[in-house]
């Protein structure tokens, strides 16, 4: 097919731009100084325009359309890619180019302003940026509306294909009915144990986090671990997968669980079938599925007694003599305690989904236009008080705590809760094949990695996430595994 | 002019690609893991092809040609830009696109191989890459030859416009005649003083290097200082200018002088007239002029007694009590001692140009085809022994020590010696306007920065370097200022 040849030529350019997007974001969040990000935002805008033009070139569009019509002649991966590309080209076209470019420049500029606003707790500083961002996202729901997707659903579908408001509502209703009353009973107000109130050397934390990457069998020749304000994972293809971390000397475990979490994401990217490199089907299938991997490693593995039975002696030796009097049991109890806190990223496994429900409900109101940005801090605080019984003392600990909205990522948060639930469903399926906890005794997560590779990772984005979940577990998404897992774990 | 409008449109894209080149190189030398660099090299190749196509688009070429013909109607900066662009478009066109793309991928792949070869001292590992690189550079001298530029001159002119082999030969002859006999008399074989043989904490070194950036008035909101194997400066426009450093705990001064050197480069970039941002006339005018700035700050300022009279107490306090018994005089004497060493980047001010002469002569032989890559290590060692009287014990300390050839930067090295000489010429001119050493008493280099901004930096690349030197000093390039400076300094 001559269309295919032309398509593959153009795809190389699209991939090169994906690489550029990866690098510019990685740079903005790690190396670029505050004043530099703004200076670079014009280049970002020009690159966005070039990407827009590339994706909507009439010849490319015709070619994708032709391939779409002949898609039954393609192999499975190509067919999936063409379906996704066909849709994305037709969507991009519906966004006015000036708006697209201006929005890309806006979010590049918004990031350093958001950082300053968060540092100073000054929502008003960030407000004009957020207003323009929300305005654009609302317009997106109009430009990209289809017969089956409207309003907030348009945004939700970008991050988790086929998962609509109706489905999230059902999911969150299950959590609200079964989990909220349980959480309330489990919340502890005990002060943190004394041994946690020490200074834990940053270099030692780093050393242990590098050890964690070894435990998780991550090949360091294909990605570094660096520092940034918020830990994240970023990669391009299977051979360049990087994570960041943040070390707090007054907190022993924050960086450790971030390392496990981000290496979970990184393992997913690394274990995609390398044959998908150079296609548009590389990387994770959706944000929910991605988060299911990081949460799987962080919570189900990383907070288990079986894990620390093997690795706690190493932790003790790195920090010797600071943990000398602390038993494995005490440590595991500490990393699983349930507490009310203001900050999502510091939340325990049990209260975490409540933080997400809060954001989901706020986004729904904002995108529908029923809530305005100017009223956001007050709305946040009221809702938070309703859910948690306490009121954030500042916007830094409230509405400004997450960076996502500064990037315009509305519709992203709900995938975090979804990820935890998918992780529980996968754990249930994996348990049928082997004894997960026993497999940790050999000192690595090797056996778990292989199972996840064969059942989830290898497919990359060559199938939709709900399809992959069905292949991996034999079932559609089922939130009760998650509820059961949490109730059983925290009843123990 | 409608051509100008079209040109400015296209220029935005060219600038966006310059930003991309800056980012990909910054990333390859800092964050990308070994295995990742190779994985990313295909994207680099695709981007190179896109850049090639952009620069040689027939419509763009016609437009640049039209503007070139009407250049007298343009303002000075635009006229210079069009002259340079006209030439570069016509040059790019003469390089076959497949060769251009393959070469960009080759150098991206060569870098990690070079790093491995250097680490293991295994020249044979790197040899096939270097052979292909040299082959391409030889072809370049054919593709880009003109009536006035042939052979090695073609490459020299890329880095230092208007500075040909004939001029370098004259320059190096002056050095050889006047400097070499003097250097031989000044070389010391005394062992390093005992106080230098301590462990100097890396965090403290960093702290002092950040202090140096403050002394040099560098606004940290516009560029970070990071770590890499070799220190370098990289930037885009005046508002994103970054440096790297490398800390050795057994060496107190290496990182300090790198910080001064790189902040010298960075100050040049930062002080270009901001009106040149968004044009192709931003950044430094040439590598020689750039190196003159870093060397000016590093050697003329940073190795002076006047500088340390102000800042040595701070150094003592950061490292207290490690330097307690060491006087300012002893310290300044130490940072100016003359020694024979194998490594260029560790060379003192006096032996440094000999390292450059060596490379210049080797490059001339390689590019002419009189020397083959397979014979390079032996040739290097023979030449080195001739110049320095000692033979490198390994290729790591010999032919593999510099990264430049792995990037294909033949013709680059001579600008390093040129830079030192220009620095001396500028120092002489600046001295007529104010007492440089006395100006350091206020604790910063503010006055020096202003002079360099007004006489050199502000012009960016809107003029040729020889023009700027004439404006700044009232003279053409004159190597005797350099010889006089060195002989007077080291006779004292």
* Phi, psi of B390, rounded to the nearest 5 degrees: -135, 155
Q: In which element (H, E) is residue A206 found?
A: helix A202-215
Closest residue in B to A41 (Cα) is B16
Q: Which residues of A touch B34 (CB under 8 A)?
A: 221
Q: Is residue B262 annotated as a catalytic residue, yes or no? A: yes
Tell me the H-state helices in B409-463: 414-433, 436-439, 446-455
Q: Which site among A11, A16, A235 would you substitute to test the B interface, given the most B Cβ atoms closer than 10 Å to its Cβ?
A: A16
User: Which tens digits make up the pLDDT trace of A258-293?
Assistant: 999 999 999 999 999 999 999 999 999 999 999 999
Chain B residues with beta carbon closer than 8 angstroms to that of A16: 43, 46-47, 50
pLDDT reported for residue B42: 87
Residue B19 has its nearest CB partner, among A30, A40, A240, at A40
Q: Is B41 in contact with A65 (CB distance < 8 Å)?
A: no
DSSP B399-424: TTS-SGGGGT-TT-THHHHHHHHHHH
Q: Is the dihedral of CA A25, A31, A37, A41 positive or negative?
A: negative
The candidate with the shortest Cα–Cα distance to B54, out of B87, B81, B15, is B15
| Cis previous bond, A321, omega within 30 | yes
A42/chain B closest Cα distance in angstroms:
8
Query: Does residue B68 have a cis bond before it (omega within 30 degrees)?
Result: no
The 3-state DSSP class for residue A242 equals: strand
Mutation choice for B interface testing from A24, A31, A97, A221 by most B CBs within 10 A: A31
Number of domains within chain A = 2
In a domain, B87, yes or no: yes
Q: What pLDDT sits at residue A245? A: 96
Residue with tokens 């033009």: A53
Structure tokens at B30: 């800092």
Q: What is the spatial distance between Cα B241 and Cα B213, in angstroms, rounded to a whole number?
A: 12
CA dist A202 → A205, A249, A319 (Å)? 5, 6, 11
Taking the CA of residue A26 and the nearest CA in chain B, the distance in Å comes to 10
Query: Are A209 and A232 part of one and the same domain?
Result: yes
**Structure confidence at residue A40 (pLDDT):** 84
The label of the residue with tokens 């051979």 reads A239
The residues that bridge with A242 in the sheet, in sequence order, are A234
Contacts of B38 in chain A (CB under 8 A): 239
Q: In what order do the strands lie in the sheet with A233-235?
A: A225-227, A241-245, A233-235
Chain A interface mutation, best of B22, B30, B46, highest count of A Cβ atoms under 10 Å: B46
pLDDT at B41 over 90: no
Contact list in B for residue A12 (CB cut-off 8 A) is 46
Q: Are residues B267 and B359 in the same domain?
A: yes
Which of B107, B132, B157 is the last residue in one of the domains? B132
Q: Which among A277, A276, A272, A257 has a CA at the least distance from the CA of A216?
A: A257
Find the closest chain B residue to A48 by CA distance.
B16
Contact A19 B221 (CB under 8 A): no
Sign of CA dihedral B198, B204, B206, B208: negative
Residue-averaged pLDDT of chain A: 96
Residue B137, domain member (yes or no): no
Which letter does DSSP use for residue A164 in this model?
-
The two three-digit tokens of residue B238, written as one number: 């005046």
Tell me the CATH number at B434: 1.10.1370.30
Q: Mapping DSSP to helix (H, G, I), strand (E, B) and coil, where does residue B248 land?
A: coil
pLDDT at A399 exceeding the cut of 90: yes
Give the Cα separation of A290 and A241 in Å (integer): 14
| More confident: B229 or A106 | A106
pLDDT digits (tens, 9 = 90+) for B331-367: 999 999 999 999 999 999 999 999 999 999 999 999 9
Comparing alpha-carbon positions, the chain B residue that sits nearest to A19 is: B43
Q: Which residue of B13, B17, B36 to mutate against A (max A Cβ within 10 Å)?
A: B36
Task: Give the nearest chain A residue to B240 (CA atoms).
Answer: A36
For residues A116 and A150, state if they share a domain: no
Q: pLDDT confidence of A41, banded at 50, 70, 90? A: confident
pTM for this one? 0.92
A116 and A251 housed in the same domain: no
Residue B204: the pLDDT is 98
Please give the order of strands across the beta sheet that includes B241-245: B225-227, B241-245, B233-235
Contact yes or no for B27 and A24 at CB 8 A: no
Closest residue in A to B270 (Cα) is: A36
CB A421 within 8 A of CB A477: yes
Which among A13, A34, A50 is the nearest to B221, CB-wise?
A34
Mean pLDDT for chain B?
A: 96
Of B76, B106, B132, which residue sits at a domain end?
Answer: B132
Confidence at residue B229, expressed as pLDDT on a 0 to 100 scale = 83
ipTM of model: 0.90
How many angstroms from the chain centroid is the CA of residue A361?
Answer: 18
Question: Within this chain, do residues A360 and A421 fall inside the same structural domain, yes or no?
Answer: yes
Q: Is residue B148 part of a domain?
A: yes
Q: What are phi and psi of A164, to 5 degrees?
A: -95, 175
- Of the candidates A234, A218, A215, the residue with the CA atom closest to the CA atom of residue A226: A234
How far is B77 from B61, CA to CA, in rounded Å? 20
What are the structure tokens assigned to B472, written together?
A: 């700044």
Provide the percentage of residues in chain B whose pLDDT is more than 70: 100
Q: Which chain A positions have a beta carbon within 8 Å of B12's beta carbon?
A: 46
Mean pLDDT of A163-178: 96
Q: Do B278 and A43 touch (CB under 8 A)?
A: no
Per-residue pLDDT tens digits for A106-145 = 998 998 899 999 999 999 999 999 999 999 999 999 999 9
Distance CA B219, CA A199 (A): 32
Closest C-alpha to A108, from A19, A17, A47: A47
How far does the CA of residue A221 sit from the closest CA of chain B (Å)?
5
Question: Is there a single domain that holds both residue A127 and residue A170?
Answer: no
Helix A2-30 vs helix B34-56: crossing angle, to nearest 10: 120
- B408 and B137 Cβ atoms separated by less than 8 Å: yes
Query: Domain check: are B9 and B156 in the same one?
Result: no
**DSSP assignment of B87-108, as one string?**
HHHHHHHHS-HHHHHHHHHHHH
B489 vs B485: CA distance, rounded Å: 6
CB-hemisphere CA count at 13 Å for B176? 12
A26/B24 touch (CB, cutoff 8 Å), yes or no: no
Separation between Cα atoms, residue B449 and residue B440, nearest integer Å = 11
pLDDT beyond 90 at B141:
yes
Q: Which of A109, A160, A262, A291 is catalytic?
A: A262
The answer to whether A23 contacts B19, with C-beta atoms less than 8 Å apart, is no
With contacts defined as CB-CB under 8 Å, which chain B residues touch A39? 222, 236-240, 277
Helix, strand, coil share (%) of chain A residues, nearest 5? 70, 0, 30
Q: Quick check: A187 and A351 in contact, CB under 8 A? A: yes
Q: What DSSP element (H or E) covers B184?
A: helix B180-186
Residues of chain B in contact with residue A34, where contact means CB-CB under 8 angstroms, are 221
Whether residue B40 and residue A223 make contact (CB cut-off 8 A), yes or no, is no
Q: Which residues pair with A243 in a beta bridge?
A: A225, A233
Same domain, B200 and B59: no
**Residues B295, B423 contacting (CB under 8 angstroms):** yes
Task: Please say if the pLDDT value at position A240 is more than 80.
Answer: yes
Whether residues B148 and B223 share a domain: the answer is: yes
Q: Flag if B20 and A47 touch (Cβ within 8 Å).
A: yes
Task: Report pLDDT for A291.
Answer: 98
Q: In terms of residue numbers, what domain contains B10?
A: 2-132
Q: Where are the alpha helices (DSSP H) in A222-342?
A: 254-270, 287-295, 305-318, 328-334
Cross-chain residue pair B236–A40, CB shorter than 8 Å: yes
Going by the DSSP 8-state scheme, the letter that residue A222 receives in this structure is: G
Q: What is the rounded CA–CA span in Å between residue A290 and residue A282?
A: 13
Lowest-confidence pick of A38-42, A115-119, B261-265: A38-42
Nearest chain B residue to A223 by CA: give it: B33
Among B110, B132, B154, residue at a domain's last position: B132
The answer, yes or no, to whether residue A150 has pLDDT greater than 90, is: yes
Residues in chain B with CB shorter than 8 Å from the CB of A32 are: 224, 240
Chain A residues with CB inside 8 Å of B20's CB? 20, 23, 43, 47
Specify if B338 maps to a domain: yes
- Nearest CB among B16, B31, B242 relative to A47 is that of B16
* B231-247 pLDDT per residue, tens: 999 999 999 999 999 99
CB A293 within 8 A of CB A268: yes
Chain A residues with CB inside 8 Å of B40's CB?
19, 236, 240
Size of interface A-B (CB pairs under 8 A): 115
Q: What string of DSSP letters covers A47-111?
A: HHHHHHHHHH-HHHHHHHHHHHHTGGGS-HHHHHHHHHHHHHHHHHHHS-HHHHHHHHHHHHHHH
Distance CA B124, CA B116 (A): 11
Give the CA radius of gyration of chain B.
23
Q: Do B15 and A222 touch (CB under 8 A)?
A: no
Please name the residue of chain B whose CA is at the shortest distance from the CA of residue A49: B13
| Cα–Cα distance for residue pair A464/A262, rounded to 1 Å | 22
Cβ separation of A16 and B226 shorter than 8 Å? no
Q: How far is B200 from chain A (nearest CA, A)?
A: 17
B178 burial via Cβ count (<10 Å: 0-12, 13-18, 19+): middle
Residues B224 and B320 in one domain: yes
pLDDT at A138: 98
Strand A225-227, strand B225-227: pairing: unpaired
Q: Quote the pLDDT of residue B304.
A: 97
Query: B85 and B176 in one domain?
Result: no
Q: Which listed residue (B81, B109, B160, B262) is catalytic?
A: B262
Residue A368 near residue A412 (C-beta atoms within 8 A): no
Q: Is the pLDDT of residue A430 over 80?
A: yes
The mean pLDDT value for B102-106 works out to 94
Identify the pLDDT of residue B254. Answer: 96
- From first CA to last CA, the distance across chain B in angstroms is 61
Euclidean distance between CA atoms B92 and B88, whole angstroms:
6
- Indicate yes or no: CB of B46 within 8 angstroms of CB of A15: yes
Return the residue of A nearest to B45 by Cα: A16
Share in percent of chain B as helix, strand, coil (round to 5):
70, 0, 30
Give the pLDDT confidence score for residue B393 in this predicted structure. 97
For residues B175 and B81, membership in a common domain is answered with no
Q: Would you call A27 and B23 a contact, using CB atoms and an 8 Å cutoff?
A: yes
- Taking the C-alpha atoms of residue A52 and residue A92, their distance in angstroms, rounded to an integer, is 7
């Amino acid at each position: 097919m001559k269309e295919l040849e032309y398509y593959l030529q153009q795809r190389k350019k699209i991939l090169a731009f994906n690489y550029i997007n990866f690098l510019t974001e990685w740079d903005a969040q790690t190396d670029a100084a505050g004043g530099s990000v703004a200076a670079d935002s014009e280049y970002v805008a020009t690159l966005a325009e070039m990407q827009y033009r590339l994706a909507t070139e009439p010849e490319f569009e015709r070619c994708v359309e032709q391939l779409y019509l002949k898609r039954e002649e393609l192999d499975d991966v190509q067919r999936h890619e063409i379906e996704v590309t066909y849709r994305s080209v037709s969507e991009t076209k519906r966004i006015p180019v000036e708006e697209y470019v201006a929005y890309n420049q806006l979010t590049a500029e918004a990031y350093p302003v958001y950082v300053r606003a968060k540092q100073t707790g000054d929502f008003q500083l960030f407000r004009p940026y957020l207003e323009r961002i929300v305005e654009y996202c609302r317009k997106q729901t109009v430009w990209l509306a289809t017969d089956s997707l409207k309003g907030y659903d348009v945004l939700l579908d970008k991050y988790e294909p086929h998962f609509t408001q109706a489905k999230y509502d059902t999911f969150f209703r299950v959590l609200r009915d079964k989990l909220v009353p349980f959480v309330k009973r489990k919340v502890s107000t005990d002060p943190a144990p004394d041994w946690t109130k020490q200074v834990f050397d940053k270099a030692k934390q780093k050393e242990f986090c590098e050890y964690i990457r070894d435990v998780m069998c991550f090949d360091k020749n294909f990605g570094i671990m660096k520092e940034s304000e918020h830990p994240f994972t970023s990669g391009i293809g299977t051979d360049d997968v990087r994570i960041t971390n943040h070390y707090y000397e007054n907190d022993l475990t924050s960086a450790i669980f971030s390392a496990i979490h981000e290496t979970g994401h990184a393992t997913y990217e690394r274990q995609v079938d390398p044959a998908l490199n150079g296609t548009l089907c590389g990387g994770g299938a959706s944000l929910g599925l991605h988060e299911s991997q990081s949460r799987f490693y962080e919570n189900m593995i990383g907070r288990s007694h079986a894990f620390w039975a093997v690795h706690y002696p190493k932790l003790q030796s790195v920090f010797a003599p600071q943990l000398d009097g602390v038993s494995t049991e005490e440590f595991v109890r500490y990393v699983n305690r349930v507490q009310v806190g203001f900050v999502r990223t510091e939340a325990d496994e049990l209260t975490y989904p409540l933080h997400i429900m809060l954001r989901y409900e706020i986004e729904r109101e904002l995108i529908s236009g029923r809530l305005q940005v100017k009223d956001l801090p007050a709305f946040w605080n009221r809702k938070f008080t309703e859910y948690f019984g306490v009121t954030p003392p500042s916007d830094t600990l409230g509405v400004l705590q997450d960076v996502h909205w500064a990037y315009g990522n509305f519709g992203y948060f709900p995938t975090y809760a979804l990820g935890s639930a998918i992780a529980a469903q996968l754990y249930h399926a994996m348990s049928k094949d082997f004894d997960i906890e026993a497999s940790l005794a050999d000192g690595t997560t090797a056996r778990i990695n292989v199972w996840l590779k064969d059942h989830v990772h290898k497919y990359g984005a060559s199938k939709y996430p709900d399809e992959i979940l069905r292949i991996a577990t034999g079932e559609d998404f089922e939130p009760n595994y998650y509820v059961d897992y949490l109730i059983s774990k925290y009843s123990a």
